[in-house]
Amino acid sequence: MDLFEAIIKRRDTRHFTSEEVPSSVIDICLQAAKNAPSVGLTEPARFLFVNDAATKQKIHEIFEAENQKAADKITDLARKEAYNNLKLQGIMEAPLGMIVCSDYSTIKADTIGVQTMAEALDWSVCCSIQNFWLALTSQGFSMGWVSILDVKKLKETIYIPDHYKPLGYFCIGRPATNYNNMPMLKQQGWTNTR
Amino acid sequence: MDLFEAIIKRRDTRHFTSEEVPSSVIDICLQAAKNAPSVGLTEPARFLFVNDAATKQKIHEIFEAENQKAADKITDLARKEAYNNLKLQGIMEAPLGMIVCSDYSTIKADTIGVQTMAEALDWSVCCSIQNFWLALTSQGFSMGWVSILDVKKLKETIYIPDHYKPLGYFCIGRPATNYNNMPMLKQQGWTNTR
């Protein structure tokens, strides 16, 4: 697929069909992710996959608790209702789940580019995530980035190595809609940007 | 250009020709950046461009001070010498400079996805940066991400709004080399990854 077609078609997806994601699709996405820029050539992105419903359920509960807190912060009642009507994740429905982490064991005393701006390690991982997302789009699949999560609870709930920092949970699958070719939050009238 | 061709060809460039970067090239890159995912559809990426040599010189001095500190941390003498021989930026030579920032004024009480993980705002900006980089690559240009910078000094030196957080300085231009189609740090034998 053409680069710009992939960039334009890429969506943050929360509605999925039940179609399984072939491992060959993910292999191509991981290859794209590996070719992202990384500070000091650390290649710090780590991809953990979630297949079983029991684990998804636990992650969904962490989402629900944080999502409730976010809703509680909204004082305008109409806005709060609109917020509660938004579908912000597809954790249970998406056939594949993924946690993407920064591996802090890649930082050594002589690692280039992280001595002053240590966050650059996470930023490298984000470039990998974007490459992964574009590669997924080019193959007819999509994902949604869930950042309404308490990372401490996530690490207490499922095994993630101590030196891995999770940047979010990703719901992966075949999109059930493209939201009329616009971001869902725009389609739903939540925000007027774009 | 094909998505995968752009992903594979994209390099972190530190060696540039003197050829100017047409504004039409940058316009396309900004369009790509705008179509990146953003948490809560905040679209927080802000792009500041640097054209004049005097400003580049000031930024180069900030780089030099931080780079010296990074070199001082390396205790192995051969490794320190190798570090000092690496060209880590093209601030003065690159015809165009850019500072990419996260605009924190985009976060409101009801902004989705940043209430628990506030860093997701910066992570959105990184997705924009990666789209920008791929679009630049597809047009025969390239850039290098300089994260060896003291952001506080940067904000003291040039005007950047208070609510903007810089994620780095980017050297943009026509690449003078593709480092034998591999990351420069690998080509130079600094690291064995990839």
pLDDT of B105-126, one tens digit each? 999 989 999 999 999 999 999 9
In whole angstroms, what is the distance from residue A101 CA to residue A82 CA? 32
- Comparing CA positions, the residue from A100, A96, A99, A87 lying closest to residue A173 is A96
Q: Would the pLDDT of B193 be above 80? A: no
Give the pLDDT of residue A193.
Answer: 59
Q: Would the pLDDT of B194 be above 60? A: no
In whole angstroms, what is the distance from residue B190 CA to residue A72 CA? 51
Q: How confident is the model at residue B26 (pLDDT cuts 50, 70, 90)?
A: very high
pLDDT in tens, B36-80: 999 999 999 999 999 999 999 999 999 999 999 999 999 999 999
Any CB–CB contact under 8 A between A65 and chain B? no
Give the pLDDT of residue B191.
Answer: 86
What is each CA distance from B175 to A124, B171, B189, in whole angstroms? 21, 10, 20
Q: Kindly report the CA angle at A98 between A2 and A118, in degrees rounded to 5?
A: 85
- Comparing CA positions, the residue from A127, A39, A164 lying closest to residue B70 is A39
Measure CB to CB from residue B4 to each of A32, A39, A151 and give the nearest one.
Answer: A32
CB contact under 8 A, B168 and A120: yes
Q: Which residues are A170's β-sheet partners?
A: A98, A145
- Comparing CA positions, the residue from B146, B117, B188 lying closest to residue A116 is B146
Percent of chain B with pLDDT over 70: 98
In whole angstroms, what is the distance from residue A64 CA to residue A68 CA? 6
In whole angstroms, what is the distance from residue A118 CA to residue A121 CA? 6
SS3 B100: strand
Query: What does the block give as tokens for B44?
Result: 């927080």
So what's the ipTM on this one? 0.97
Kindly calculate the radius of gyration of chain B based on its CA atoms and give it in whole angstroms: 17
Any CB–CB contact under 8 A between A99 and chain B? no
How is domain B3-187 classified at the CATH fold level?
Answer: NADH Oxidase (3.40.109)
Pairs of residues, one from chain A and one from chain B, whose beta carbons lie less than 8 Å apart: 196
Q: Report how far apart the first and last C-alpha atoms of chain B are (Å, whole number).
A: 24
H-helix or E-strand spanning residue A157: helix A151-157
CB contact under 8 A, B194 and A43: yes
For residue A144, which phi and psi values (nearest 5 degrees)?
-130, 140
Would you write out chain A's pLDDT as a tens digit for each of its 194 residues?
999 999 999 999 999 999 999 999 999 999 999 999 999 999 999 999 999 999 999 999 999 999 999 999 999 999 999 999 999 999 999 999 999 999 999 999 899 999 999 999 999 999 999 999 999 999 999 999 999 999 999 999 999 999 999 999 999 999 999 999 999 999 999 986 55
CB contact under 8 A, B112 and A149: no
The answer to whether the predicted template modeling score (pTM) of the entire model surpasses 0.90 is yes
Query: Which amino acid is located at A147 in the chain?
Result: S
